[in-house]
Amino acid sequence: MADSKKMTQAQLIKKMAETVGVSSKVAKLGLETLAAVAIAETKKNKMFTLPGLGKLVLRDTKARMGRNPATGEAIKIPAKKVVKFRIAKACKDAIVPPKKK
């Protein structure tokens, strides 16, 4: 893995502010609003699409039987809700270009 550092929230806000030409305060408010809307819409509609990046999807998993890896004992895994992020094809292809056939 590369030694490059991950972008922090402060760096993202600064980059957004510079790109759009607004203050860092306005950029931070925009980012917080986007996160709040994404959470609210995912709770309400079980899905939120972020154009160009992907979708947040809320799924219900069924109860199932599993196995304790240490003892091999069968255990019951209860049903639960999970949130997944599905990457958009355009985003994936931009990051990892598809192989040519």
**Side-chain half-sphere CA neighbours of 95 within 13 A:** 7
pLDDT number for residue 101: 74
3 confidence band (pLDDT: 50, 70, 90):
low
d(CA 19, CA 33): 18
The pLDDT of 4-22, averaged and rounded, is 92
Assess whether pLDDT exceeds 90 at residue 2: no
- pLDDT tens across 69-96, in order? 999 899 999 999 999 999 999 999 999 9
SS (H, E, C) the chain: CCCCCCCCHHHHHHHHHHHHCCCHHHHHHHHHHHHHHHHHHHHHHCEEEECCCEEEEEEEECCEEEECCCCCCEEEECCEEEEEEEECHHHHHHHCCCCCC
* 4 against 78, higher pLDDT: 78
What's the pTM value of the predicted model, to 2 decimals?
0.75
Of 58, 99, 46, 54, the closest CA to residue 82 belongs to 58
- pLDDT tens across 38-72, in order? 999 999 999 999 999 999 999 999 999 999 999 98
